[in-house]
Amino acid sequence: MRYNYRYRLNPTDELHERLAWTVDTCRQVYNHFLHRLNREDGTSSYSEQSVLPDLKDWWTDLKQVHSKVLQKVVQRLYDNLSTLKGRKDNGHRVGELKWKAPQKYRSIKYSQTGFELKNTSGRTVLSLSKIGGIPMVYHRDVPDDATIKEVVIILSAEYSLG
């Protein structure tokens, strides 16, 4: 059975800035691959993900973002495209995918790797690769036999990027 738990993170100002920078960088990657999608036909999520290592050589800031997070950004674009196509096939009038403004792209996803729950000094910390350890408000225990498969970090509306 699949369970979804939500926890509040309490990052320091420095960690919050790092999270905000990572989310904004992922937004720019999303827009970059949307531009590539609009220029080239016959691309797939898998083929575009294979471009990421070469893109890191040119766009050096991407080396500061965990690789799985970047792969999920590309997958998110193609999932959005698939949803749009499905709605169109069901007879809905749809437009096209649009560039994401900073207010419209507020989350990142760690899948399979790059995250770990740690209990340091009686305090639970979510350790994220290339970001750091962020204290959590841990109001509900995760079952002992549970396997955490992905972590989604959502910047709430009370914080702003700029």
pLDDT for res 161: 43
Question: What DSSP character marks residue 99?
Answer: P
pLDDT at 162: 41
- pLDDT at residue 158, rounded to an integer: 61
Percent of the chain with pLDDT over 70: 96
Q: Is 118 helix (H, G, I), strand (E, B) or coil?
A: strand
Burial of 128 (0-12, 13-18, 19+ CB in 10 A): buried
Measuring CA to CA, how many Å separate 125 from each of 8, 20, 48, 68, 138?
11, 18, 33, 20, 9
Which of the residues in the chain have pLDDT under 70?
157-162
Q: Could you tell me which of 107, 147, 106, 113 has the C-alpha nearest to residue 128?
A: 113
95-136 pLDDT, tens digit each: 999 999 999 999 999 999 999 988 877 788 999 999 999 999
Supply the pTM of this predicted model: 0.91
Largest CA distance in the chain: 56
